Amino acid sequence: MKNLKLSKLAENLTSHSISKLSEKIDEKRQQGEKIYNFTLGDFSPQHFPIPHGLEAEIIAAYREKQTNYPYVGGMEELRIAIADHIKSRGQFDYEPDEIIVASGARPLIHHLFRTIVDPGEKIIYTAPSWNTQHFIYLCNAEPIIIQAKSENNFMVTAEELKTHLKEAVIITINSPLNPSGTTFDPQTLKEIFDLVVTENNIRAKHNQKPIYIFFDIIYWLLTYNDIKCNNPILLNPEIRDYVIFIDGISKCFAATGVRLGWAFGPRPIISKMRSMLAHTGAWAPKPEQIATAKYLQKYDEVTDFLDNFKNEILARLNIFYAAIQKLKAAGYNIDAIEPQGAIYLSVKIDLIGAKTKNSKILKTVDDISTYLLEDAKVALVPFYFFGMDESLPWFRLSVGTCSIDDAKIAADNIIQSIQKLTRLS
């Protein structure tokens, strides 16, 4: 189209790097290559269908013609069910009117930022993290980026936040973390909360806007090896007025396409988010709301689903973790963080300086990624896609779309491809 003129906001909006990588993978598949794709934070319905009970309730709601507008911010029976769900499973103590429902977690993040942040104000987020910078851009805010460290399992610390705290109005945190699959330990989280409470006590004396915490807990029910993500407010009850949690059914119930998420937090903020939602119309469909309300009340059925679901995910993660540890034991500069949560494994694959059979020297993280794609037929996402420095050879490996057999094959392919390389001193 000639002379196309759009807003500066639209003109400067960038797409996520993973979509570009997906195009490259699709090209290879169209050429007939078998590619083991571990780049997507999604689930294959073939291997991970939504719970049967949830599916049945959705179908029943549509057959009952429950297709008119839902209540803005979530139907009462759903918000009651969510309140019971998060309390019985995580000790989160919130009333139904402190909960808001929307068409997935993403609209809630946008509405939260729009509720709190004025143009030009600053939001702290850490790298690696998923998509945060785009939400910050869309509300005309300024980012403060903290590069998390592998020795801290890529989780931000209070010490790292301390020097930036006075500049910001929101801190964004996520546990279990996308992309690393790691979690906060209670002591680190308590130190962050203590820091924010102290800062807000100072701001209150000067009638200044508090600093809030946006806490993404979308994977909180997917934790492993005795790790649990219970209500962190219990670590410092004074933080309750400043934390907004965002959750939903997309990850813990493999329901990424069902589009139903919720937020809970201080009543005044949730109320303003509800008013904003009324104008944008980003409601979850009424049949899905009715179905989710009924399904969440089936405690034993939900527990059985989650137990099996977690076992299947962990089995896949452990296959790759074992393969990486085998290479590490053989002397390669390769490592992985033991699975803690979500559907991701953090993998360090430092092959810089290695030489392929074709005498190509691997000089960059992109070279490593391309080599694994070409030789092992395995696609991984470099952490720099999530805001990390491009020189750091860490990758996200996501197992939500693979079978156990494919995981075994892909893990063997990685081992064999790396063993083909000539290591240079």
Calculate helix-pair angle for 299-329, 404-420, nearest 10 degrees: 20
Which of these three, 280, 298, 316, is where a domain ends? 298
Q: Does residue 156 sit in the same domain as residue 15?
A: no
Instruction: Give, as one character, the DSSP assignment of residue 68.
Output: S
Asked whether the predicted pLDDT for residue 425 surpasses 60, the reply is no
Of 298, 318, 348, the one marking the end of a domain is 298
Q: Is the pLDDT of residue 18 over 90?
A: no
**Residue range 195-200: mean pLDDT, rounded:** 98
- Alpha-carbon 332 to chain mean position: 29
pLDDT, average across residues 38-58: 98
Tell me, yes or no, whether 397 lies in a domain. Answer: yes
Are residues 219 and 343 both part of a single domain? Answer: no
Q: What is the mean pLDDT of residues 199-220?
A: 98
Task: Answer whether residue 20 shows pLDDT above 80.
Answer: no
DSSP assignment of 188-227 equals HHHHHHHHHHHHHHHHHHTTPPPPEEEEE-TTTT-B-TT-
Domain that holds residue 415: 8-48+304-420
pLDDT greater than 90 at residue 162 = yes
330 plus 206 within the same structural domain: no
Per-residue confidence (pLDDT) for residue 424, from 0 to 100: 64
pLDDT confidence bin for 159, thresholds 50/70/90:
very high
Residue 386: pLDDT over 60: yes
In-domain check, residue 314: yes
Tell me: do 237 and 311 sit in the same domain: no
Query: 10 Å Cβ neighbour count for 187?
Result: 10
Residue ranges with strand state E in 258-319 = 261-264
For residue range 368-378, list pLDDT tens digits in order.
999 999 999 99
**Domain stop point among 273, 298, 323:** 298
| Same domain, yes or no: 237 and 223 | yes
Angle at 154 between CA 197 and CA 256, to 5 degrees: 90
**Total domains present in the chain:** 2
As a whole number, the mean pLDDT across the chain is 96
Residue % of the chain over a pLDDT of 70: 99
425 belongs to a structural domain? no
Q: Is the pLDDT of residue 182 over 70?
A: yes
Residues 41 and 173 grouped into a single domain: no
pLDDT at 140 over 80: yes
Name the CA dihedral angle for 225, 230, 232, 235, rounded to a multiple of 10 degrees: -80
* pTM score, whole prediction: 0.96
**pLDDT average, residue stretch 328-354:** 98
Indicate the range of 2-11, 58-67, 304-313, 410-419 predicted with least confidence.
Answer: 2-11
Residues 386/130, Cβ–Cβ less than 8 Å = yes
Average pLDDT, integer, range 304-316: 99
Burial 145-167 (b: 16+ CB within 10 A, else e): bbebebeebbbbbbebbeeebee
Q: Domain containing 308 — which CATH number? A: 3.90.1150.10
| pLDDT band at residue 14 under the 50/70/90 scheme | confident
From residue 10, how far is each of 108, 117, 141, 148 by CA, in Å?
20, 20, 15, 30
Q: What is the mean pLDDT of residues 19-41?
A: 89
CATH number at residue 255: 3.40.640.10
% pLDDT > 90, the chain: 94
Examine the pLDDT at 16 and tell me if it is beyond 80.
no
Does 269 reside within a domain?
yes
Does residue 19 have a pLDDT over 80?
no
- Cα separations (Å) of 152 from 123, 155, 211, 349, 356? 22, 6, 24, 18, 33
End-to-end CA distance of the chain: give it in Å, rounded. 54
In tens, the pLDDT along 235-292 reads 999 999 999 999 999 999 999 999 999 999 999 999 999 999 999 999 999 999 999 9
Give the pLDDT of residue 32: 94
Task: Give the residue-averaged pLDDT of 337-360.
Answer: 97
Among 260, 230, 264, 232, which Cα is nearest to 248's? 260
User: Is 3 inside any structural domain?
Assistant: no
